[in-house]
Amino acid sequence: MIRFDSDYMAGAHPEVLEALVRTNLELTAGYGNDPYTAEARDIIRHLCDCPTAEVMLLVGGTQTNATAIDGILRQTEGVLAADSGHIAVHEAGAIEAAGHKVLTLPHYDGKVRAEDVDRYITDFYADETYQHMVAPGALYISQPTEYGTIYSRAELESLSATCHKHNIPLYIDGARLGYALAAEGVDFTLRDIARLADAFYIGGTKCGALFGEALVITRPALIKSLFSLVKQHGALLAKGRLLGLQFSTLLRDGLYTRIAGRAVEQARRLREAFRAAGYDVVIESPTNQQFLRLPNAVIDRLREHASFDYWGPRGETHSTVRFVTSWATTDDDIDELISYL
């Protein structure tokens, strides 16, 4: 059975695991006060061309979103997001549990539009009753989105400019950021992300690590008492070096984007094979998630050999399904899947 359910089915990239094994018996200080975390922070600041960035390594994506957004917002503020955004749908109300409303915008294949953000905020303050409503205090976007799409550099510039025009920070959920940085036709770099976002995270869990997300805060003092806030959210890993080691291994010499690039290329091959076989590509995704509309009979036949998820409910005759590749996908996996078409 070849598996395309998600990009968090394997452990860590072997180089990452090897670093953990190599250092396993070293004794270091806890909570991120170790040399490996320091190194990871330095590498990230360098890659972001942002020497003043605050870098905090956390364990998971929902945790990182909840902690960062809680730290960014005041009590009376909410966070703007696509109604398809992970925080709006699939985080079990973690944002609300910290007291904040998710203010939803329409999505276009997972993306929000700068003009919608601009209109929302403008209309908000034009409403005489705005003080009775939850004020937009930040914009959340995911890059790539939950639909595999990516914002172009121009779109990021526009969203960033809109946020700053209205004096709210832009926060980017980079759970799969590696796959965006290595996407087909990508026209931005990590430095662009760091320049345009006020805070974002570099996802490790889905991009080669056992676990781990590197929160990068580029606007000084955006979040006060970050360490304590992380602790309060139950998000402070005792053996913080496990995070430091993983990120320094992934980022030191480009392993992160290299393995993501391979997964993106595999996803492209997979998509084009389906297209060549006459099936509908539902979303033109340049990253490691591909969304296809297939006859149910085809789905049933493929599922004898491969696992993958429905995207929405099963239809009468056709359904949309999602295939996800990762650093752990092999070229043979792709060849084999294609052979079943």
Judged by CB, which is closer to a copy of itself: 151, or 327? 327
Judged by CB, which is closer to a copy of itself: 5, or 280? 5
Judged by CB, which is closer to a copy of itself: 135, or 273? 135
Give the residue among 185, 285, 329 at the shortest CA–CA distance from 338: 329
Q: How far is the CB of 256 from a copy of itself (least distance, A)?
A: 17
Give the residue among 263, 262, 292 at the shortest CA–CA distance from 277: 292
CA dihedral 86, 87, 91, 95 (to 10 degrees): 170
Q: How far is the CB of 199 from a copy of itself (least distance, A)?
A: 16
Judged by CB, which is closer to a copy of itself: 229, or 281? 229
Q: How far is the CB of 49 from a copy of itself (least distance, A)?
A: 28
Q: What is the DSSP string of 121-159?
A: HHHHHHSTTGGGSPEEEEEEEESS-TTS----HHHHHHH
Check: CB of residue 223 under 8 Å from CB of residue 169.
Answer: no
Q: How far is the CB of 134 from a copy of itself (least distance, A)?
A: 4
Sheet holding 77-82, edge to edge: 54-58, 213-217, 199-203, 170-173, 135-142, 77-82, 102-105
Judged by CB, which is closer to a copy of itself: 5, or 187? 5
309, β-bridge pairs:
322
